[in-house]
Structure 1
Amino acid sequence: MQNSLEIFLQRATQTLDRLEPMLPLQRQPVDWAHHLAARWVGSPQGGHLRPIQVRSKLKLDDLLGVERQRDQLLVNTRQFLQGLPCNHALMWGARGTGKSSLVRAILSEHAGQGLRLIEVDRNDLAELPLIVESLGGLTQKFIVFCDDLSFEPGEGDYRLLKSILDGSLEQAPDNVVLYATSNRRHLLPEYQSDNQNWQRGETGELHPSEAVEDKIALSDRFGLWLSFYAFSQDHYLDVVSHWISHYAAPLKMGWQRDETFEKEAIRWAQARGNRNGRCAEQFARHWVGRQALSLLPQTP
């Protein structure tokens, strides 16, 4: 009898050990009074929000050359904070031109008014209804932010997002809005053959124009479109100068914008094939750090 009981307990323990990873974990809710942002972490046991320590001190004035986009998104966000009608926003265009930086800067400058941000990976968009449900009843206002949003041919997730934007998210509490960034205006790749083949009757589809419309319908769910473009050379150099001053000021280091300096900044951009805000800040870090290092006492 004792042996049978021991065997039963042993098997029960083994069964519980196998089931434990499948059970939902008990996690403490995010303290939004002390955290400005969180990231949704998906898992088979049920996703959860993980707090993010926001260290960025980016300001709206740091974003040069995108004043039109900045002002439009800022007005939309202020409407949102005041409980007025507002739109979900899609920021699309060239990489490194300030799309996600604009969202971070708005969070930094309006966190005192109760603005909070939740980052959601594209692969976790199916869990948006759960995220929205967890935010209902809270006093803060939440931007649900998806960075680098895009879909490939054959993926069905974009149709799910369409239904979310037109369905559950539209009916979400007034304290939730969706902001997304993408390098693609319509979030899906578009091909010349989309027009050519169906005009020649090669696709076999009875209503091929509807397939093309389906591809561009997703971005239509966003009421506010903001486009970002590659920098001109003058714009790029102005941004470089801004970040040089930003990083040189705390070091009390003087500098001069001359022809030699500008040529070096241009060569830096050419070597990377990019002329944008990200590249400009990276060069500023490199240049200021190198100049400051040369002023330090040389160790033997």
Structure 2
Amino acid sequence: MAQLEPANNPEHVTIPLKKSSKVKDFLSLMVKSKSVLIGGIIVLIVILSAIFAPLIATHDPNEMEMSKRLMGPMEEGHLLGTDNYGRDLFSRIVYGARVSLEVGVVSVSVSLLIGVTLGLVAGYYGGWLDNIIMRTVDIVLSFPVLLLAIALVAALGPGIDNVILALGLIYWTNYARIVRANVMALKEEEYIQAAKTIGSSDFRIIFYNILPNCLAPIIVVATLGIGIAIVAEATLSFLGLGIQPPDSSWGWTLSFGMKFIRDAAHLSIYPGLAIMFTVLGFNLLGDGIRDLTDSKTK
């Protein structure tokens, strides 16, 4: 074994290397992941389109020009053509990104708030609280998701706020189950037992010791959940129960275009592609983050 040189010898002074940040390491892994990179680019494009819609849109999305109805792509300055009211399809799709992202992000936030809270309570305390919460989860999961969404929106009435509320009240079960399973495993760890021994409150243990260690699966499910919520909103709008005109929605535009599928197929093709690529972006991003956070694939 090599002997250590005296610390006071200036010729053998070792300069400690600065350890790389875990955040920087994780970001570098994200850049190297093709799934995260491609999904992130798609999601970023959609987000930027929604934010800068007034600058990107070439026309007022609600402006009607009956003389220009059912124009094809690239006719008279309309990149993707016009609908049967002469409204610019490209502008309506760009503004539709705002509706889809708003529904996706806000409904997932509602689901997170409900599901994570109930999952933490059920997993940490167990007993009758766990039984009540998980039996409620079983009841909600026993209904077909789309059928339950239609029933809730029909009861609440169409509109973006009611769609967000309905989806938030449906999809919280996924977060509750995942968080509960993680909490039940984590609460038996030695550091949790040590925190209890020194008298830490349940609130501090749950939100400062347990919740941070549940964030990885929550982020993955939430990312995938945004794509699911976007598809659900498009489905409800397609059926006439979601966003109502004159507001621009991809689902409503797709449904409206079905009436002219033979004469103007572009009315259905382009909104369908917008939904497909947006959901694909969130799915790729979620799958990539899952792979990065999975200890078996690091």
Q: Which has the higher contact order (CA 8 A, sep 6+)?
A: 2
TM over 0.5: no
- The TM-score with structure 2 as length reference comes to 0.21
- The TM-score with structure 1 as length reference comes to 0.21
